[in-house]
Amino acid sequence: MSKADKLFVNMCRDILHDGFSSEGQIVRARWEDGTPAHTIKKFGIVNRYDLQEEFPALTLRPTAIKSAVDEMLWIWQKKSNNIKDLNSHIWDEWADEDGSIGKAYGYQLGVKYKFPHGEMDQVDNVLWQLKNTPYSRRIMTNIYKFDDLMEMGLEPCAYSMTFNVTGNRLNGILNQRSQDILAANNWNVVQYSVLIHMMAQVSGLKPGELVHVISDAHIYDRHVDIISEMIERPQYPAPKFILNPEVKNFYDFTTDDIRVEDYQKNPQIKNIPIAV
């Protein structure tokens, strides 16, 4: 059975049984009808995924893997902040009339900085270091830029990635300030697992471990029954992930270069209410 499923089930049970409820507190998020969107949360969740063991896509419900990767490439490869460059509509409500989400996400990864080895953006710096100084302990990105926060459509949730090479394996730590467990947990896990696969391949390395650190891991009140049903579903073996071995340049990857085989999964959960 999928280790990602087991990890997800244990995390959700921990939150539901021992989490803190925001009932009675003032909360920012609202449901579509204007009702306060309360949560049950745990602070400081750390999940580890060994990408040599399996590809951590949930089988409890299907993750739209290609759509998740398309968003990841929109941020990391296109370095775009315009939803017109994205093939899904998940960012529509945070965009202005021109399609921009402001100085957020991809915009920040495209800003150039001066490094000892030249002027480049954060992604190119990671790629340069993985090829030239792979055992550096300074291979990282950060898109939570305080002086630009007021010009962002949404402050970044997943804001920092630290890469670390151990032997011939590329590991990564994803830091996330906040996460809606039902809507986004496996979406982000899949995205950054694929990113590690891609970065490893173009750097002559093998994918290692993804460590996902979530400061505020929460389940919304209107998601409790959905989660409770979901974690009792049958679990299946993890799917097989295949990345086109011919691609040697990170900027050449497309969603057509990923293939997922033997993905047994439960039915999709439809009409999930989203708090904003």
Q: Write down the pLDDT at residue 1.
A: 87
Distance CA 156, CA 101 (A): 11
Would you say 177 is a known binding-site residue? yes
Residues of the chain with pLDDT under 50: none
Q: Is 177 exposed, middle or buried (0-12, 13-18, 19+ CB in 10 A)?
A: middle
Distance CA 124, CA 195 (A): 14
| Structure-token pair, residue 244 | 């086109």
CA-CA distances (angstroms) from residue 162 to 139, 176, 177? Answer: 6, 12, 15
Q: Write down the pLDDT at residue 196.
A: 98
Q: Write down the pLDDT at residue 276.
A: 86
Distance CA 30, CA 7 (A): 29
* Tens-place pLDDT, residues 174-207: 999 999 999 999 999 999 999 999 999 999 999 9
What number of other Cβ atoms are within 10 A of residue 196's Cβ?
Answer: 25
CA-CA distances (angstroms) from residue 257 to 44, 134, 152? Answer: 34, 25, 31
Q: Write down the pLDDT at residue 251.
A: 98
Could you give all domains of the chain from N- to C-terminal order, each with its CATH number? 3-261 (3.30.572.10)
Q: What's the pTM?
A: 0.97
157 is catalytic: yes
Would you say 188 is a known binding-site residue? yes
User: Locate tokens 């954060």: which residue?
Assistant: 122
Would you say 275 is a known binding-site residue? yes
Q: Per the residue annotation, which of 90, 157, 224, 272 is the catalytic one? A: 157
